[in-house]
Amino acid sequence: MRQLTAAVLLVCTLTACGGGGGSGGGGGGAPGPRTSTTPHPEPAVTRSITITLSCDDTEVWVPASPAGLTPAGSFARLDSLQRPMEVSGRVWSDNDERLYVGVVCGARTPEQFATLVAKSTLTVYQGKPAVRWTTRTGVRSFMWLERPGTAVYIGATPGLSDEIKPIATDITAG
């Protein structure tokens, strides 16, 4: 995955640098506009404002401050799981509302993953097995099997449940 990301970044860099100053009209010997290269430091900035969660050798990058929320701690357990699993996650808040993002380590197959949470609805997220459920305390939860051994979990109290989809879109894995 990192090789693919590096290849895409290289292509984007070469395209941006080569598009402005070549033979496509312009003034004599002066180099073309190089301002197109200023966006390239942005990925490093984006990566520096993320939090890394991991299971074994799989890393999951989460925005450091989703939806402008305030960091409110971490968690290492999900009561909804049917069996003990390694869990690592972060919590953000906005007044009494909470947003949870984490990884659940251990489920290697879609069949194992599908049985992690009782009374969950099996679905698909970006072609990967996923489940959704609401806890007895009202937390709306969504989890997908990112890779064998690594599931990504997002939970939110009702006031922040609209943030689940955008957060899922912002999460990347490597």
Residues 16 and 74 in one domain: no
Q: Is the model's pLDDT at 64 over the cut of 90?
A: no
Torsions phi, psi for 6 (to 5 deg): -65, -40
Residues 123 and 147 in one domain: yes
Residues 67 and 101 in one domain: yes
d(CA 71, CA 78) in angstroms, rounded, equals 19
Res 16: pLDDT: 39
Number of independent structural domains in the chain: 2
Residue 84: domain span: 51-173
What the block records as the tokens of 111 is: 């069949």
Strands of the sheet containing 58-63, edge to edge, are: 50-55, 58-63, 172-173
Residues 73 and 107 in one domain: yes
Residue 106 CB partners (closer than 8 Å, separation 6+): 55, 85, 86, 112, 149
d(CA 150, CA 173) in angstroms, rounded, equals 10
Please tell me which residue, 27 or 104, carries the higher pLDDT value.
Answer: 104
d(CA 57, CA 36) in angstroms, rounded, equals 35
Residues 91 and 145 in one domain: yes
Q: Is the model's pLDDT at 11 over the cut of 70?
A: no
Give the pLDDT band (50/70/90) at residue 79: very high
Q: What is the CATH number of the domain that holds 67?
A: 3.40.1000
Residues 58 and 108 in one domain: yes
Lowest mean pLDDT among 5-19, 25-39, 63-77: 5-19
DSSP string, 114-127: HTSBTTPEEEEETT
Residues 100 and 159 in one domain: yes
Residues 44 and 76 in one domain: no
DSSP string, 20-76: HHSSSS--TTSPPP-GGGTTTTHHHHHHHTEEEEEETTEEEEEESSGGGPEEEEEE-
* Nearest alpha-carbon partner for 165 in 136, 123, 137, 135: 123
Residues 82 and 41 in one domain: no
d(CA 141, CA 126) in angstroms, rounded, equals 17
Residues 39 and 120 in one domain: no
Residues 104 and 129 in one domain: yes
Residues 62 and 138 in one domain: yes
Res 170: pLDDT: 94
